[in-house]
Structure 1
Amino acid sequence: MNSQKFLKFSFLLKCAVIVLCQNVFFFNNIKPVNAQISGVSDTVCRELVSAGFENVFVSEVEGTIVIGYENRRFRFEPKGCSEVMKIIDQVVEQDRDIMLIIFRNKIPLLFIEYNTLSFSNFISNKISSNEFFEELQVASEKPEFEKYKAVRTNRSEFKADVALGPNVSLQFGDWDRNVQSNINLIPELNTMLTKGLTLTAQALVPLYNNFLIPEQAETQIRPGIIALNQMIRLEDNVFLNASLGYFTRSRAGFDIELRKYFGEGNFSLSLNTGYTVYKSFSPKLIEYFEDDNYFTGIVSAEYRYCPYDLTFGVKAGNFLYNNIAARFDLLRQFGELKIGFFATVTKSSDFNGGFNFSIPLPPGKYMRIKYLRVRQSKDFSLEYRAKGFSKSVGTYDTGSQLYNILMEYNADFFKKRLIKELF
């Protein structure tokens, strides 16, 4: 009887040992997988921060690796994204789904989805660029991720970026001075204070001036744009942009814009209003109407024809100096180069027109920011008007217009340029 109990006890003990060994084996197999996922996330985050990207986070949502970042290292946003994808390819194991969220001042602007195996096959020429282009998904809105929160590394707050660039004004002169010019150097400080809130401060340093009337040519070092700007992304691809401070054309006040994008950002409608007063930091000759206070109210619409990266735009309303008018724009992007033509008409049937362009300034890669960075301006822009009368259709520049900011983040444009940057 005792021997039977002993045998039964021995049998139960063996079963318990076998079950315990199986559990130990099972959990030992699971732990390295979790550790591997965490290790990959940490490595990706560390490599992106080391490369100079800011506000970086890496997490996993339902099997997809979600990576958020902000680029202030590369002049061209698609170039920055291509570098991020190459870093991920070196760290993340094959055949994983990736979601990239591109931020600007902590506001999500683009969402990119792809598979690491497809990317590796594209880089190694196993599949064509057209095949990868079809698999790559770039969207301007993704409601489930627009408010995604995660702990960020290498935060951008209070890092100061000082950009140096030229400012050129041209006008036709007399027989002695066929073309008169005013050239200034503009140091511009930009820093982010909190999500979507930025501070811009400029100084205008005169370099050369041969304007015909000396009183029209400001020759002293003086402030340029000094403004706070708050950008907010609302639901349904709607953006609110508000600026307060000192703007161009010697105007001080506030400006508010509400813009709605349709069809992946290829069509937009905008309402803009502002109130400004005259303020000058240097003595100069002005027209009789310039020192009044003015409300502005402008409605605008833009349509983008994607095959040629061509944008048609129209603005109408009460421009600066109570000028009821309309402006028509045609702009084409050639990568970072922009060339445009415009025409304006006022209520009094005064016509004007001209062209504008913007060219990138080298180099395309900037130094990393620790606390303060000095670099060249991103681009050089110039607009020529057939008539230079100061009351012609126009308005002040706040330094933070939504149309200019978001043009580079158009989903179709970004996707095409990203493929080119990956070659």
Structure 2
Amino acid sequence: MKTAWSSFLLLMATTSLLGQGIEDRLFKAGFENVQVLEKKDSLEVFFEHREFRSPYHSMHYAGLLLEGQVQKTIVWRPLYHNKPVGGYLQDFYSFVKLDKEARQFFKQNNKPWNGYRIQLRLFPNFAARFGYYEQPFQTRLDLILDTRLYLAPGLSLQTGIKFPVQNSLDENNAVVLAPTMLHYFMQPVNKHFVALSLGTFYYDRYGLDIQYRYAPLEQRWSFGLEAGLTGYYQVYSDHYSSSDLSIVHAVVDAEYRLPFENLSLKLSAGRFIFEDNGARLDIIKQYGNVDIGLYAARTTSGSTIGFQFALPISPGSIYRTKKLELRTPAEFRWEYSYNNEQPVARKYRLGMPRLADMLRQYNGNFIKNLSR
């Protein structure tokens, strides 16, 4: 009896040390809120790594760090905004759903207050307008230093400061508060994702933004709804101005991932943020950490074509300690429209990826293709 009890205690101690060793090693490499659920034949590793745009690269990096140290099968469970999104076997060829045991484990062990570093992001904000006779090329370049603080599970506060660098587009050259918002992200049940944002956004908007997406991450189809109630605002060095919350937008979309070349087709229709009604078709190509897209749109404001891209900005981590990190953003997104006179089928930016753009990176087919 004593021998059996001693063996059990030894097994528990060894298991605990293994989990703690994984947590410490990954945290030193920039991973945050690392939790290890140990099962008989596998380890489920929960983590968030905010430097990587695609979870594949964070999982691949974690695998290299732990190579030869873990004998059990690993299931990676990357987090997004302090919430688990899905699960991937270490060979990346199988998607593992978030089951009741994994949900309960993370809920009990989640550390939204002390599992994260204070991260400061330094990145450019660029706007441009082309085609005017007197000034064919009008631009504005700002430098933004912002941060995201986790207040509760899934709930964060984003805020920062905007520094003007160059401006031939408008007359606002003040150092002002960058877009600031409360953001809540959740996956109440598998395949259903919700994001709520309340505060100030890019395109000089403030108000409420709501996103819902049905996205089976192991399948090719996904469907979404984006809606919001906004108004305009401007912050200057000595005053601010704003309009009433009166602009309503609501757009539904369907996206299909083609079985080749990491291409996706996305059709959106509804009322866009400049109150034009119509439809937009996007073709998006994913190149690892970079997305490039072409689009065409027709609404009550006119027709246009354009392109967009999203990519990380080097060098990534600039300075890191146990409590603080200074880095460049995992995603910089910019869009160009041929129609400069009338904004057609536009969306404002939130300072973070929209649900459709974020979940596209977590699709099991995309992860599998990257691993080949």
Please indicate the TM-score interval, normalised by the length of the shorter structure: 0.7 to 0.9
Alpha-carbon displacement from aligned partner over 1:203-222 (angstroms, at most 9, x marks no partner):
332211234xxxx3422223
CA 1:379–1:52: 2 relative to 1, 3 Å: closer
TM-score by length of 2: 0.87
1:46 to 19, 24, 27: 24
Structure-1 separation of matches of 2:279 and 2:260: 27
Deviation of 1:142 after TM superposition, in Å, equals: 4.3
Say if 2:177 is the partner of 1:206: no
Residue identity in the other structure for 2:369: K
Say if 2:295 is the partner of 1:342: yes
Structure-1 separation of matches of 2:232 and 2:30: 41
Residue identity in the other structure for 1:339: I
Corresponding residue for residue 56 of structure 1 = 34
2:323 to 355, 364, 371: 371
Corresponding residue for residue 89 of structure 2 = 113
Say if 2:124 is the partner of 1:148: no
Residue identity in the other structure for 2:227: T
CA 1:315–1:140: 2 relative to 1, 3 Å: farther
Structure-2 separation of matches of 1:30 and 1:230: 42
Give the alignment's Cα RMSD to 1 decimal.
2.8
CA 1:102–1:155: 2 relative to 1, 3 Å: farther
Tell me if structure 2 keeps the 8 A contact 1:184–1:205.
yes
Structure-1 separation of matches of 2:250 and 2:360: 22
Structure-2 separation of matches of 1:171 and 1:260: 35
Structure-1 separation of matches of 2:20 and 2:245: 58
1:86 to 64, 67, 72: 64
Tell me if structure 1 keeps the 8 A contact 2:112–2:153.
no
Tell me if structure 1 keeps the 8 A contact 2:32–2:116.
no
Structure-2 separation of matches of 1:394 and 1:227: 20
Corresponding residue for residue 166 of structure 1 = 124
Say if 2:94 is the partner of 1:137: yes
Deviation of 1:294 after TM superposition, in Å, equals: 0.9
CA 1:281–1:181: 2 relative to 1, 3 Å: same
Corresponding residue for residue 49 of structure 2 = 71
Corresponding residue for residue 358 of structure 1 = 310
Tell me if structure 2 keeps the 8 A contact 1:157–1:194.
no
Q: Which has the higher strand share?
A: 2
* 1:2-401 correspondence runs (5 A): 23=1, 31-72=9-50, 74=52, 76-92=54-70, 94=71, 96-114=72-90, 136-139=93-96, 141-142=98-99, 144-149=101-106, 150-152=108-110, 156=114, 159-174=117-132, 177-211=135-169, 216-262=170-216, 264-282=218-236, 293-347=246-300, 350-365=302-317, 367-400=319-352, 401=354
Tell me if structure 2 keeps the 8 A contact 1:182–1:217.
no
Q: Which has the higher helix share?
A: 1
Identity over aligned pairs, percent: 25
Structure-1 separation of matches of 2:327 and 2:41: 40
Tell me if structure 2 keeps the 8 A contact 1:56–1:70.
yes
Corresponding residue for residue 125 of structure 1 = none
Deviation of 1:59 after TM superposition, in Å, equals: 3.1
* Gap runs ≥5 in structure 1: 1-22, 115-131, 284-289
Structure-1 separation of matches of 2:199 and 2:150: 16
Deviation of 1:319 after TM superposition, in Å, equals: 1.4
Structure-1 separation of matches of 2:122 and 2:222: 32
TM-score by length of 1: 0.77
Residue identity in the other structure for 1:231: F
Structure-1 separation of matches of 2:339 and 2:369: 37
Residue identity in the other structure for 1:232: M
Deviation of 1:48 after TM superposition, in Å, equals: 2.3
Alpha-carbon displacement from aligned partner over 1:312-352 (angstroms, at most 9, x marks no partner):
1111111123211211111101111211111111136x211
- Radius of gyration: which is bigger? 1
Tell me if structure 1 keeps the 8 A contact 2:317–2:328.
no
CA 1:29–1:373: 2 relative to 1, 3 Å: closer
Tell me if structure 1 keeps the 8 A contact 2:211–2:227.
yes
Q: Secondary structure at the match of 1:91?
A: coil
Tell me if structure 1 keeps the 8 A contact 2:212–2:226.
yes
Residue identity in the other structure for 2:180: I
Corresponding residue for residue 240 of structure 2 = none
Tell me if structure 2 keeps the 8 A contact 1:53–1:69.
yes
CA 1:331–1:217: 2 relative to 1, 3 Å: farther
Tell me if structure 2 keeps the 8 A contact 1:190–1:198.
yes
Residue identity in the other structure for 1:53: F
Residue identity in the other structure for 1:60: E
Tell me if structure 1 keeps the 8 A contact 2:215–2:359.
no
**Number of residues of Structure 1 aligned to a counterpart in Structure 2:** 365
Tell me if structure 1 keeps the 8 A contact 2:251–2:269.
yes
Deviation of 1:305 after TM superposition, in Å, equals: 1.7
